[in-house]
Amino acid sequence: MENTLYVFVYGTLRVHEGNHSLLRDAKCVARHAWTNGVLYDTGVGYPAMATDSMERVYGEVYEITKEHLRCLDRLEGFAGDGEINHYERIDQTVYTDHGPLQAYVYVYLPHQVTDLVAIPSGDWKCHRYLEEEDL
């Protein structure tokens, strides 16, 4: 199973979110998962995660194909290592109730989050729900 690809999603790719259709035929291997990082509200309808060893970001893990990965790279503006990317794609440990695994995670670089507001819960769905409740 060394060729198995996993992706950790924490925003609009999660189930019942706007871009989840890109993962419609991917296998969900963990509905409840977390990884180290800080989640930010970009203010334009989607979150961004930056790496951080002390905080957690919550999301889901999917087993994906190379075609899924190409589609996700296009969505996230990832052209490749060393290129000018919107999100960087990294390989990171993700924790699930089935144990840890390595998964791709799309992240912002530190300079991209300097003016963004952190989401204290680390959970985009929870953040959106609480924002709607305030309306």
Report, as residue numbers or ranges, the catalytic residues. 76
Distance of CA 71 to the CA centre of its chain: 14
Give residue 55's region: left, alpha or beta (phi > 0; psi -120 to 50). beta
Q: Give start and end residues of each alpha helix (H) in the chain.
A: 66-76, 124-134
Report the distance separating Cα 9 and Cα 15, nearest Å.
10
Q: Are 4 and 21 in contact (CB under 8 A)?
A: no
Count Cβ atoms within 10 A of the Cβ of residue 12 and give its class: 0-12 exposed, 13-18 middle, 19 or more buried.
middle
